Structure 1
Amino acid sequence: MLLQKESNPGLNTVTAYGAGYIEINGASYRHPVRFSPEGPIEPWAIEDIAQLTLAALQEMAGVETAGSDPMAFLDDLPARATGNVEVVIIGTGSRQVMLSSALTTPLQRLGIGVEAMSTQAAARTYNILMSEGRRVVVALIPAQEV
């Protein structure tokens, strides 16, 4: 399905998607990817949403865990957001798969929203939030059926 006829070459925009692929800025990807409005489009190691870990979500959102900051105990915080991410969107493939609260709550406590939805819905939602200037990061697993 074609999402947009035109895209801003300065921003990463999902331009189409279909069975087994995601198109970003006119380039087709047949593997899971993650990206934000600016910067590189990177392969994502998560092939199936069941593989998703808290560490992977924290890394996407720019969250630094206490273990990586030797002085974190002074703040009495287990983690802190080091990036500017407001929302993390996960495209779970052909159908929506809800994420456990063990994955989402730690980021929500830091003021970062986490949303999981089908890849099609995630692509549309990302484009809307990105066009509004929101600080969003997305990971998309290509849907096998559309």
Structure 2
Amino acid sequence: MLLQKDLNPALNTVTAYGEGFLEINQVRYDSTICFSPEGPVRHLELRAAADIDAALLQGLIGLEPAARDPLAFLDDEVSVPERPADAPEVLLIGTGRRQIFLRPEVLRPLLTLGIGVEIMTTQAAARTYNILMSEERHVLALLLPGDASS
């Protein structure tokens, strides 16, 4: 399905999607990709939503996993890592043809930092990304191909 007729070559825009592919700025991708309005489109070695873990999501937003102190539970304060300056407002995760929710412990580190996470089908995530991008929102999309399975 063609999504976008007019292109701003300075911004990554989802221009089409179909069974097993996505098109960003009229360039076809047949694998899982991650991108924001500006910057490169990154290929990821993910085959299914079940392969997404907290470390991957933290790496995508530029958050280094904190070393856990085994005695940290003794402290009164819970340490929350610092949010990266260029962290997105929202992370859109497209899980293929079906919406597949991720476990809460996978999402918790991002939610703790105030980063919204929305999980939906890849087609819905592609459309939502274009809307948020056109509103100049700082959004990051992680999209599995349309034929991805759990």
Common topology (TM > 0.5): yes
Residue 44 (structure 1) shift = 1.2
Residue 79 (structure 1) shift = 2.4
Deviations 1:89-127 (A, max 9, x none): 111001100111111122111110111110000000111
Matches of 1:132 and 1:112, distance apart in 2: 17
Give the match for residue 89 of structure 1.
92
Partner SS for 1:123? helix
- Which structure 1 residue ranges, 4+ long, deviate > 4 Å from structure 2? none
Which of the two has higher C-alpha Rg?
A: 2
CA RMSD of aligned residues (A): 2.0
Partner SS for 2:126? helix
Matches of 1:119 and 1:9, distance apart in 2: 23
Matches of 1:40 and 1:62, distance apart in 2: 15
Instruction: Report the TM-score, using the length of structure 2 for normalisation.
Output: 0.86
- Corresponding pairs, count: 140
Matches of 2:90 and 2:102, distance apart in 1: 15
Unaligned runs of 5+ in 2: 68-76
Unaligned runs of 5+ in 1: 68-74
Instruction: Report the TM-score, using the length of structure 1 for normalisation.
Output: 0.89
Give the match for residue 77 of structure 1.
79
8 A Cα contact 2:50 2:102, kept in partner: no
